[in-house]
Amino acid sequence: MKKYAPLALFVLLCLGAGALGSIATASSVSTWYPGLLKPSWKPPSWLFGPVWTLLYVLMGSSAWRVWLTAGGFSDAREEMILFFVQLTLNVAWSWIFFGLRMPGAALLELVLLWVAIAVTIRAFARMDRIAAWLMVPYIAWVTYAGALNASIWFLNR
């Protein structure tokens, strides 16, 4: 049971990051965002909450597996730094896109986020292959979100 407390902390940390991002999102999702032109393949708005919740749980579980495999932070220092960098970039995207209402800048930041996720996956794979695979849905969704972000930026220039 003792080893599952850190799992809860990792998951709560990721969900907390999502909550920070949602502060910026909430300020624009009912005002600015509905007025933007969007591609026909944009998913329904209600889907984003459940998808991101699942992704944050997978991300937290992934980081926990690496932490557990390494026996703590000291032996997973590089992997944990990469994880927290990508998590910070994740939060920043919401603030740039929704908070600052700058889809072009958000797209550039999303490229950095994508690279950070890819590097994190690679680092996690060296420690725990399951941890790396738990991050794959996240990078897939961010890839899709990047295409959506690019389309919104292009349609609203």
Per-residue model confidence (pLDDT) at position 3: 82
pLDDT in tens, 64-90: 999 999 988 899 999 999 999 999 999
Percent with pLDDT over 70 in the chain: 99
pLDDT in tens, 1-49: 688 999 999 999 999 999 999 999 998 999 999 999 999 999 999 999 9
More confident residue, 152 or 2: 152
Q: What's the rounded Cα separation, in Å, for the pair 41 and 44?
A: 9
Contact 110, 145 (CB under 8 A): yes
- pLDDT tens across 98-142, in order? 999 999 999 999 999 999 999 999 999 999 999 999 999 999 999
Q: Does the pTM of the predicted model rise above 0.85?
A: yes
pLDDT at residue 90, as a whole number: 98
- Taking the chain, what is the end-to-end CA distance rounded to the nearest angstrom? 53
Domains for the chain: give ranges and CATH numbers.
4-155 (1.20.1260.100)
d(CA 119, CA 129): 14
Q: What is the 3-state secondary structure (H, E, C) of 2-42?
A: CCHHHHHHHHHHHHHHHHHHHHHHHHHCCCCHHHCCCCCCC
